[in-house]
Every structure is written in C-alpha cells, then in structure tokens.
Amino acid sequence: MKALVLHAPNTPFDLTEVPDPVAGPGEAVAKVYACGAGLTIQHFKAGRVPAVFPRVIGHEICAEIVEVGAGVRSLEVGDIVTSYFYLNCGHCRMCAGDFQPLCDNFGGYVGREIDGGYAEYIRLPERNFIRLPEGLDWQGQPAHVGVAMDALATPYKVLRHARIREGETVAVFGAGGGLGIHQVMMARWAGARVIAVDTKASKFEACRDAGADEVVDASAVEVVEALLELTGGAGVDAAVDYVSAKSTLEAGARALGKRGRLVTLGGAGEAFSLSARELLYKELAVLGSRYVTPTEIRETYDLMARGEVWPIVTEIRPMEEAEQLHELVENGEATGRAALRIA
Ligand SMILES: [Zn+2]
C-alpha cells in the first residue's frame, strides 16, 4: 500500500510503498478515505513531542473496515469507522467508568506509538475503531467526517464537562484556532451567547460565521475589561481556554462571574495564579478537559448524522501534497481544519 512514512523527526514525508497491514487477534484493518491534519500530529512530525520512527502519523480518520482478526466481535467488514486516539487498556477503573482518557495503563497514541492513518490502510486494536452512525454522509465528505472525532468531539465534551447551558455566556480563548472555532460553533449550538477571544483579527470573520456573537481582539484591548463590559459587569459563565498560557488562564479566571467555570485544554502546562477569595465568594470551578471518551465521540457523530452540526474543513489535499498541507498547519494558516484525501 501507499503510505506517508516519517523516517525521523523534522524530516519531510516519504510517500512510499509498504506492506499491507494484516489484522492479528483482537485487531482490525480499515481502508482509509480521509485523515485530518491537526496541530497535534504536526507536533509529532516537527519533533516537538518524542515519537518512535519510522512512523505513519494521523488519527482523524474516516475509514471502512476491510478485515477483522480472531476474536473481534464489535466490528464487521463494511463498517464505517473513525479511530479513538488514545491507546487505553479497556479494563482499569478509569476505562470501566467511561473515563478512558484517564486510563491507569495509558499506552500512548494512534500515529505515535503505533502507525496511524496517513496510509491507504490502518490496523488498530478493536477498541480503537469507533463505528459511525447510519445516515451520516461520509461518502460525500470523508474529510469532514474524519476530523470531527477531534474538531467537534473535543468541544462537545467541554460543553458537558463545564455544564454549559442555554442562555449562558461563554468566552472562547484561542477562538480562531482549529479547535477554538469549533468550540464557538458548539457553544452556539448549545444555545449559549459566545464571545470569541483571539489575537489574530484576520480570524474574526470566521469566528462570527461559526456563531460568535461578539469578538475581543486580545492584541488590542484589555481582555478582562472587555469581557466584563460585554456582560454588564457580571462576568462570563464559562471561559474555555484553548491557549492555556499563564496569561490567558489568569484573564479567563478574572473574567468569570458567579458560578463561573474555567476550562483548560492543553497549553504549556504552566502554573497560574487564582484568587482563593474569588474562588470562594463566586463559587468558581476550575476544570481540565482531556480529550474525549468513545461515548462522547459517538454522541458527536449522532449530532452530525442528524444534521445539527458539521465541522469546517478549509484545506483538503491529496497524499502527494501532505508536506505543503503540514506547512499550512505549522504556520496556523488554515482557518478551519485541514485533511488529506487518501482514497
Ligand atoms: Zn484503562
């Protein structure tokens, strides 16, 4: 099969022939139609995150099961699937409680510890394939279907985790990014009033198109003051921070109103300060949101199948143009998500 192989960190893709994968016991093989090109895998490619080489990266797949190994019960040939990004054990207390991202025996990632979706076929453990619902138009837009396992599922999980309800005000920090813009969309879907916060004014039109009621240019104004002004001094109900730098987390916390929730996703993992008095007097909550559960992915695809939400994909390229696609991702030039069309 054709595969985009990375031989070492920070080197170009090698589009080459490799042996077709064969499903062992408890595994399945799927034919890949499209695979998302997000910043996470660009970090692998650029060598900012350690990975084992040679490696085929990619996990945001829309694929079709073509072979199941011995003992596989939940999948059949012909099933349309995406992948679950984390390699979890499936039996620890976290996995058993449907908190798979917190698995006690976490084994790494699809496309980092094992080969991923930048190839014509992908082999994964049975539990790393998630079957997509009937009625989803995967044939028409496989790239959109592939990226949704992260682009829409991650913001969907945040809505649940932070208990965001209709009529609340949500500030999204890093709203112009590939996940941020989908958080804007999903918060709007949930019936919230959405304020997009970003430093790149060029992204604001896309934020408004995705459903932002207001935008705050963090490069031009004082963010906390702006958010307080936009809420009549009350503060926001939730601040969802896709930048999660010390400065944005502190701004988000200070902009919260009574019963406000601050959500961090990723970032550099720095310590930040928070007033215990504010925490107490306003009954604030600080939450981390790590990836998603398989259930949250299935629920997200159900919303897509019902036509309620659909991701924004602005760059779709063939395998031959993977290198140029990753340059766009590296430079933050894609407004929505980027993806490779494989077949
Ligand atoms: Zn586990």
For residue 135, the CA-to-ligand 1 centroid distance in Å is 31
Compute how many other C-beta atoms are within 10 angstroms of the C-beta atom of residue 319.
20
Please report whether residue 158 resides in a domain.
no
Neighbours of ion ligand 1 (CB under 5 A): 88-89, 92, 95, 103
pLDDT at 56: 98
**Residues 11, 146 within the same domain:** yes
The pLDDT, as a whole number, for residue 203 is: 92
pLDDT value at 49 more than 90: no
The CATH number covering residue 32 comes to 3.90.180.10
128 Cα: distance to centroid of ligand 1 (angstroms): 13
> SS3 of 160, please?
helix
Position 246: which residue type? Answer: K
Query: Model confidence over 137-181: pLDDT tens digits?
Result: 999 999 999 999 999 999 999 999 999 999 999 999 999 988 999
If asked whether residues 131 and 237 sit together in one domain, one would say no
**pLDDT for res 146:** 98
Residue 266 reports pLDDT greater than 90:
no
Side chain identity at 4, as an amino acid letter?
A: L
Residue whose pair of structure tokens reads 């932002």 in the numeric block: 212
Domain count of the fold of the chain: 2
Q: How far is the CA of 101 from the centre of ligand 1 (A)?
A: 8
Q: Token digits for 146?
A: 């592939």
Measured in angstroms, how far is the CA atom of residue 111 from the centroid of ligand 1? Answer: 19
Mean pLDDT of the chain: 96
Q: DSSP string covering 61-129, please? A: EEEEEEEE-TT--S--TT-EEEE-SB---SSSHHHHTT-GGG-TT---BBTTTB--SSBSEEEEEGGGE
265 and 303 belong to one structural domain: no
What's the CA-to-centroid distance between 41 and ligand 1, angstroms?
A: 23
Report the pLDDT value the prediction gives residue 142, as an integer from 0 to 100. 98
The reply to whether 80 and 178 lie within a common domain is no
| Ligand 1 center to 106 CA (angstroms) | 6
Q: Calculate how far, in angstroms, residue 104's C-alpha sits from the geometric centre of ligand 1.
A: 5
CATH code of the domain covering residue 202: 3.40.50.720
Question: Whole domain around residue 313: which residue ranges?
Answer: 2-151+292-341
Residue 239 β-bridge partners? 171, 262
DSSP-derived 3-state class of residue 135: coil
Q: Is the pLDDT of residue 51 over 90?
A: no
Quickly count: other Cβ atoms within 10 Å of residue 12's Cβ.
12
Say whether both 69 and 12 belong to one domain.
yes
Radius of gyration of the chain, Cα coordinates, nearest whole angstrom: 20
Residues 48 and 67: their CA atoms lie apart, in Å, by 34
Q: What separation in Å is there between the alpha carbon of 76 and the centre of ligand 1?
A: 24
Is residue 263 located within the same domain as residue 316?
A: no
| 153 C-alpha to ligand 1 centroid (Å) | 20
What is the pLDDT, as a whole number, of residue 174? 96
Ligand 1 mean position to 265 CA, how many Å?
21
